[in-house]
Amino acid sequence: MANQSALFLGEFLKSPAVVGAIAPSSRRLSSAVAVPIPERGDPVVVELGAGTGPFTEEIQRRLGGRGRHIALEINPRLADHLRVRHPGLEVLVADAAGLPQLLAERGLAAADVIVSGLPWAAFTPARQAVLLRAVVDSLAPHGAFTTFSYVHARMLGPAVRFRRTLARTFEEVVPGRTVWRNLPPAFVFHARRARVGAAKDRAN
């Protein structure tokens, strides 16, 4: 655990605007983001910005060998760490913006659940829009998208902008309770039912 925290902090210091956090998420937050993963069936679960893998671990636990779990991480060092920690997991060193194509290349039409660890508040509005479009374009019509926001940043411009864009993009966006046992405290957004034309609108 100390190793993971040190690796994560080291990568944050090198690229704060990409890593976007000083510490890996806690078990409590991981449990909250993974709630939409169904208990039965073989869902396709995509994880964006897996980092050192706290969400990965919870997703693997919930799937218990069912379905398919693909983890995307743009930072090769973090992706390497993830591969060692979870041998057999599909870890892609990739930009989440390319998700629709990555799924198509693997013969997958869509994901049932997309769990995001991306640091939305660190992104420019244009980057937020591109990444959300990739999510909408990759999510099955019945699918669920979860992501999180840090409590201390929720009133700041980038976080407010992301929340508004999320509300414009999905018919249903439900914020969860604050997870105090996280550094820093955070809360989850559960989003479903992308609005018709949402992805196309944002592209214009």
Ligand X SMILES: C[S@@+](CC[C@H](N)C(=O)[O-])C[C@H]1O[C@@H](n2cnc3c(N)ncnc32)[C@H](O)[C@@H]1O
CB of 171 to ligand X, least distance (A): 25
**Alpha-carbon torsion (133, 171, 121, 68), positive or negative:** negative
With CA atoms as reference, report the closest residue to 140 among 171, 173, 113, 116: 113
19 makes contact with ligand X (CB under 6 A) = yes
Residues 6+ apart with CB under 8 A from 180: none
Stretch of 36-44, 117-125, 137-145, 157-165 lying at the interface with ligand X (CB under 6 A): 117-125
CB-based contact 82:73 (threshold 8 Å): yes
Binding to ligand X (CB under 6 A) within 80-99 occurs at: 95-97
Nearer to ligand X, 79 or 194 (CB): 79
**Through-space distance between the first and last CA atoms of the chain, rounded to whole angstroms:** 44
CB of 181 to ligand X, least distance (A): 13
Instruction: Annotate each residue in 167-186 with x if it binds ligand X (CB under 6 A) or - if it does not, as one string.
Output: --------------------
> Which of 36, 100, 119, 143: binder of ligand X (CB under 6 A)?
119
Nearer to ligand X, 163 or 193 (CB): 163
Residues 6+ apart with CB under 8 A from 191: 144, 145, 146, 147, 166, 169, 170, 172, 173, 174
Residues 6+ apart with CB under 8 A from 156: 121
Nearer to ligand X, 180 or 197 (CB): 180
20 makes contact with ligand X (CB under 6 A) = yes
CB of 159 to ligand X, least distance (A): 13
Instruction: Annotate each residue in 28-67 with x if it binds ligand X (CB under 6 A) or - if it does not, as one string.
Output: --------------------xxxx--xx------------
Give the interface size with ligand X as a residue count (CB under 6 A): 23
114 makes contact with ligand X (CB under 6 A) = no
**Residues interacting with ligand X, by CB under 6 A?**
18-21, 24-25, 48-51, 54-55, 72-75, 78, 95-97, 117-119
